[in-house]
Structure 1
Amino acid sequence: MTELISVVGGAVVDSLADPRTLLVARRTAPPQFAGMWEFPGGKVDPGEAPDQALHRELLEELGVEVRLGPELPAPAPAGWPLNGQAAMRVWFAELTAGTPQPLEDHDQLRWVALTDPEDVLGLPWIPADLPIVEALLAAVSAQSSPN
């Protein structure tokens, strides 16, 4: 059995303590995903820790530095299945330096309101990211609900 490719993604929010908006990125490639939205991030390099990879990827793709928050729980230890060959782990992240710009792999960035799930779910997401988006919305809703 081939080992899964490890991918990391950032759920970049306006505030780790009280997330209200989420930064999403529109892909330019490959052709089947061009124009679709995703969490910014990418592959973990050999010997690289997943959290280090996420910091590197967000700097390369968006030109930003972030503070990582909790990881969004996935259905499997390897992360969220993207396809038969790859799985993605996703962390909440908050900007600490830089202004997000679509530097690599994306042509547009957008802040979407987490308080309006229809707005978030109305975007054409890469199909593998949609269950992650739904889980993120549920996690944020549970965090903001009074106990």
Structure 2
Amino acid sequence: MNAPRLHDCVGALLVRDGSVLLGRRAEDRAWLPGAWDVFGGHIEAGETEDAALRRELLEELGIVPLAPARMATIGGDLPEPWRLHVYLVTAWQGEPHNRQDHEHCELRWCSLDEARERLGAAHAEFPRLLARALAG
């Protein structure tokens, strides 16, 4: 029997003025329906992490990140094996706006406490990563 394929993804903690931008996933999404999430997505075949991050942020938010900094890689096994390369993004070109409302039904700038509340259950490392990202 073949093992499930690993979903290799990138995600961005977009930080501005002491807040981080999160998106609530649409209820009909296959992965994490209705859950709060960072912006990003799957790395396509032959694509680098940096290229995937830039593509995803442009597609989802209409922005181009400037000097994203890799923070960590986290992962899990449910609903299928996944790995998320988390980047800190503190500068970008453009103004973030929801370009894919079929993907995210809500965008919100969140304080550290709000972000921990929304992402804490997703992975044990998110509270620590959020604190680092928002520490300035």
Length-normalised TM-score, structure 2: 0.79
Is residue 76 of structure 2 the alignment partner of residue 81 of structure 1?
yes
Of the three residues 6, 9, 30, the one matched with 1:4 is 6
Size of the aligned set, in residue pairs, is 130
CA contact (8 A) 1:36 1:126 kept: no
Length-normalised TM-score, structure 1: 0.74
CA contact (8 A) 1:21 1:112 kept: yes
Q: Which residue of 2 aligns with 1:21?
A: 19
- Letter in structure 1 aligned against 2:10: V
User: Whole-Å Cα distance in 1 between the matches of residues 51 and 125 of structure 2?
Assistant: 21
Q: Deviations over 1:12-52 (max 9, x none)?
A: 111xxxx6110001101326733221001100000000111
| Residues 59, 132 of structure 1: alpha-carbon distance in 2 compared, 3 angstrom cutoff | farther
| Residues 47, 69 of structure 1: alpha-carbon distance in 2 compared, 3 angstrom cutoff | same
Give the match's secondary structure for 2:127. helix
Counterpart mapping for 1:63-82 below 5 A: 63-74=62-73, 79-81=74-76
User: What is the CA-CA distance between 1:135 and the residue it aligns to?
Assistant: 2.2
Counterpart mapping for 1:33-44 below 5 A: 33-44=32-43
User: Whole-Å Cα distance in 2 between the matches of residues 35 and 2 of structure 1?
Assistant: 24
User: What is the CA-CA distance between 1:87 and the residue it aligns to?
Assistant: 1.0
CA contact (8 A) 2:62 2:96 kept: yes
User: What is the CA-CA distance between 1:136 and the residue it aligns to?
Assistant: 1.3
Q: Which residue of 2 aligns with 1:92?
A: 88
RMSD of equivalent CA atoms: 2.5
CA contact (8 A) 2:88 2:133 kept: no
Is residue 130 of structure 2 the alignment partner of residue 137 of structure 1?
yes
In structure 2, the gaps of 5 or more residues are none
User: What is the CA-CA distance between 1:85 and the residue it aligns to?
Assistant: 2.2
Of the three residues 79, 103, 115, the one matched with 1:120 is 115
Q: Which residue of 1 aligns with 2:105?
A: 107
- Letter in structure 2 aligned against 1:55: R
Percent of aligned positions that are identical: 28
| Residues 7, 48 of structure 1: alpha-carbon distance in 2 compared, 3 angstrom cutoff | same
